[in-house]
Amino acid sequence: MDEFQKQAVLRMLSYIEDHLENPITQAELASAAAYSPWHADRLFKEATGCAPFSYIRSRRLAAAAHALGTSDRSIIDVAFEFVFDSHEGFTRAFTKQFGMNPSAFRKALAAYHQRSALTTESEGESRMETVFVQVVQRPERKVVVKYAHKATHYFAYCEEVGCDIWDTLGSIEGAMFEPIGMWMPKNMRKLGTSEYLQGVEVPLSFTGPIPEGFDIITLPACTMMVFQGPPFDEEHFEKAINNLWELMKTYDPTLYGYQFSDEDGPRFQLAPLGYRGYIEARPVRPLNKA
């Protein structure tokens, strides 16, 4: 994706944020992107991993959750504010995303005094920046990886094996998603390899060539809770990562019907690109599935 395409996605994301309380059409998104509807849809999905209207629905639900936790407005008023046409439809969508109905969610927030937002200090004032949280399913798949032996994070990994691994992984044909950095749980770690490694997920049926010095492993199906921070200036990528890490340390997934389950799969990060915000994911299980 070139810089012009990234800017097109950024314009669509900005348009969505500015119009969460209004109907949004495919034509309007395409106009914001300055692409045809088909190309705008493709670029959006490539950059965010979501179809535009799935993303819009999730963002509206996240904004509605914030409204429920920070105001005393009625549930139906919040539903209408974020373009849901009935109490029942809003409740179904909200429960599917957060694992509990809006009323239970509001009570849980009141009890735990938590918000799905990130507080940062800016010029002596506190400001709230929304963090987008979604739950996604990862199927059983293979991963083409490059092992290190001591690395616990990206910079140590680069020092040990070089910084060109990402580009090599990105060139593998048939990949399911973009390359990721992974923190492998102990139960999935190959003897003599480090906690942190980089890889790219491919289907179980993958039979393509493996670059010299790389390996291929199989990961089980798992459920991932994905955290996406707000856009940031590229030179501030380390701050964006650290800010999201601080949120994740205190985040309580039980409010949404899940529990962290790090042994189910690797925690992973995507490349920190300012136009989409820093993205990281942790494996979770529904509370009713120990």
Say which residue, 253 or 108, is predicted with more confidence: 253
Residue 23 — very low, low, confident or very high, per pLDDT cuts 50/70/90? very high
Over residues 195-240, the pLDDT tens digits come to 999 999 999 999 999 999 899 999 999 999 999 888 888 888 899 9
Residue 47 — very low, low, confident or very high, per pLDDT cuts 50/70/90? confident
CA angle 23, 26, 32 (to 5 degrees): 90
| Residue-level pLDDT at 107 | 78
CA angle 244, 195, 231 (to 5 degrees): 20
| Residue-level pLDDT at 16 | 92
Q: What is the mean pLDDT of residues 4-8?
A: 89
Residue 41 is encoded by which pair of tokens?
């849809």
Q: What is the mean pLDDT of residues 261-267?
A: 95
Cβ-contact 165, 151 below 8 angstroms:
no
Residue 132 — very low, low, confident or very high, per pLDDT cuts 50/70/90? confident
- Alpha helices of the chain — where are they, by DSSP H? 3-18, 26-33, 37-48, 52-70, 75-81, 87-98, 102-112, 154-161, 165-170, 237-250
Q: Rounded to an integer, what distance in angstroms lies between the CA atom of residue 156 and that of residue 169?
A: 18
**Selection from 100, 265, 117 nearest residue 285 by Cα:** 265
Cβ-contact 214, 206 below 8 angstroms:
no
| Residue-level pLDDT at 116 | 41
Over residues 168-201, the pLDDT tens digits come to 999 999 999 999 999 999 999 988 899 999 999 9
The helix or strand, by DSSP H or E, that contains position 241, with its residue range, turns out to be helix 237-250
Amino acid found at 243:
N
Q: Could you give phi then psi for residue 93, rounded to 5 degrees? A: -65, -40
On the question of pLDDT at 124 being above 60, the answer is no
Prediction pTM value: 0.62
Residue 49 — very low, low, confident or very high, per pLDDT cuts 50/70/90? low
Say which residue, 34 or 159, is predicted with more confidence: 34
| Residue-level pLDDT at 254 | 85
| 3-112: in CATH 3.40.50.150 | no
Q: Could you give phi then psi for residue 189, rounded to 5 degrees? A: -85, 130
| Residue-level pLDDT at 119 | 42
Q: Rounded to an integer, what distance in angstroms lies between the CA atom of residue 121 and that of residue 32?
A: 31
